[in-house]
Each structure stands twice: as C-alpha cells, then as structure tokens.
Amino acid sequence: MPYADLNGLNIYYEEFGRGETVLFLHSHFSRGLLAFAGQILPFSGRYRCLFPDFRGHGRTTCEDLTWSSRMVADDMAMFLDKLDIEKAHIIGYSCGAYVGCYMAANYPDKVKSLVTIGGAAHARPEGAEDFLPENLIKNGHTDFIEDMKARHFEAHRGDWQTYLKNTVKDWQTQPNLTDAEWQNIKCPCFFINGENDPFGTVEELQEKVPASKVYKVIGGGHRPHFVGEQIDDINKRILDFLSEI
C-alpha cells in the first residue's frame, strides 16, 4: 500500500505492471481501483499503471478537506514529480476526465496523451443537489451515505458531509476550462462517451480540441469501460490508441 507524501498531502495509490506510465484518474464518488477495475489486467500487461486516490477520496489524507478538479490536477502533476515520472499517458473517467484536461492544458510537458471517458466540455449541474447530505437524508438514501462513509473514511475522517458538499460543488462547476486552456491542449487526445451519457458528448469535446480522436459508444452510457458494459471494446480501442503514439 504505497503512499506519496506531498507536503502534508499523503496520496494513496496502487501500482501494477512495467513500461511507459499510464495514470488513471477516477470519478466523483469513486477511488482509483474502483473506477478502473476492468482495466488493471489488460493494461498492466503492457504499461506501468498508477491508480491514485484523489485529495478528499479513499485512503488519501490531508488536513484540509476541501478539494476541486483543478486542485487535483495540480496534485497529480506533483505526484508524477514525486515518483520521478517525466511524462505519462492520462486516462480519466468523469471527474478524472476534467482533471486530465486541466493537466493537459496546464502541464503539457507532463502529458504524453490524454484519454477521457465520460468527459465534458462544460459543467452540467442538473441533479447535483440531490447528493447534498440533507437531501440524501430527506430522501432516505441511507445506503449511499453508508457507502460514502466507508469508501472515503480515511480521507474525510468521518466528516462525510463535507466530502459530499465538495463533490456536489465540483459537479456543479466543473469542468470550467478557459478558451486559452482548451487551445493549449496539444497532446494526442481520444475522447470517449456513450451515446446516452447525460454528462457530455464527444462532439462538444472535439469542438474544443479539433485534432482529437473521438468514439461515441452506441448504446453506451456514462461508464462504458465498466465490467458488464462495453468493456472489451473500450479497452481494445484505448490500447490501440496508446500503441500508435
């Protein structure tokens, strides 16, 4: 169970495989391995795969419980420096897709390529307020609350309300790249969204990064790379993309 200490931010991560580095960036409500369980074996046979838990999530600890996608992008850049990794392929899912875009825009020398799954070009706040602590309690979603308590206990130290408030705020406001940031994304990019994904489309992302490769997953939703979804197709397409770089 390795940790990377970044001046008081203690990032927990898992590592598998050897070769060029692939940094996997997880979604809201999730943590490293949970978001990419179906990618561990297929990718670690070819690459060094890193699965960190973000600030505020999982087993990563910090005195300050606040976080945002932008903050996490800065953290991940420092995380690569801490591990003496000059450059990495980035694969980001949902919130991790936003983090990946911020990294590609603001730390271009550290990003060899960018793959996003369930990403977006702008925030879609609809439905986020349903996940505020008071609304979850009012609507009787106790199972979800208990999951968040257990899944992120080390990170929020029992203050699950602050964790959820931060998550809702990030959902409501991110991604929020400036035009200059979008224009600064120069690395090879592959944007993947299900045709039924309510949070983003490949068309809006390709409009922001015209040179990008895109794939709309027919019949897919927000998480086509999950087990039970279109996992084999998605894994093959990403591995093919990486092999061409």
pLDDT recorded at residue 1: 62
CB 195 within 8 A of CB 122: no
Mean per-residue pLDDT, 194-204: 98
Work out the pLDDT band at 22, boundaries 50, 70, 90: very high
Domain boundaries, the chain: 3-125+175-243
To the question of pTM greater than 0.75 for the whole model, the response is yes
Taking the C-alpha atoms of residue 208 and residue 221, their distance in angstroms, rounded to an integer, is 21
Render pLDDT for 84-132 as a digit per residue (tens, 0 to 9).
999 999 999 999 999 999 999 999 999 999 999 999 999 999 999 999 9
**pLDDT category, 11, cuts 50, 70, 90?**
very high
What's the pLDDT at 112? 98
DSSP string, 20-56: SEEEEE--TT--HHHHTGGGHHHHHTTSEEEEEPPTT
For residues 205 and 212, is the Cβ–Cβ distance under 8 A?
yes
What are 149-177's pLDDT values in tens digits?
Answer: 999 999 999 999 999 999 999 999 999 99
Mean pLDDT of 204-210: 98
Token readout for 234 is 């998605």
Q: How distant, in Å, are the alpha carbons of 68, 98, 144, 235 from that of 174?
A: 8, 7, 23, 26
Q: What is the pLDDT of residue 84?
A: 98
**Angle (deg, nearest 10), helices 69-82 and 95-106:** 60
Q: How much of the chain, in percent, has pLDDT values that exceed 90?
A: 99
Residue 93, strand partner residues: 117
Q: Residue 176 has which token pair?
A: 């929020």
On average, the pLDDT of the chain sits at 97
Over residues 143-153, the mean pLDDT reads 98
Q: Which long-range contacts (CB under 8 A, 24 or more apart) does 230-239 make?
A: 230/194, 231/38, 234/117, 234/192, 235/38, 235/39, 235/42, 235/43, 237/190, 237/192, 238/91, 238/115, 238/190, 238/192, 239/42, 239/43, 239/46
**How many Å apart are CA 63 and CA 87, to the nearest integer?**
29
Sign of the torsion angle spanned by Cα atoms 203, 209, 210, 216: negative
Sequence-separated contacts (24+) of 134-142 with Cβ below 8 Å: 136/164
Parallel, antiparallel or unpaired: strands 111-117 and 88-93:
parallel
As a whole number, mean pLDDT of residues 62-90 equals 97
- Locate 109 and state its tokens: 């020398």
Residue type, 35: A
Q: What is the CATH number of domain 3-125+175-243?
A: 3.40.50.1820
**Predicted pLDDT of residue 215:** 98
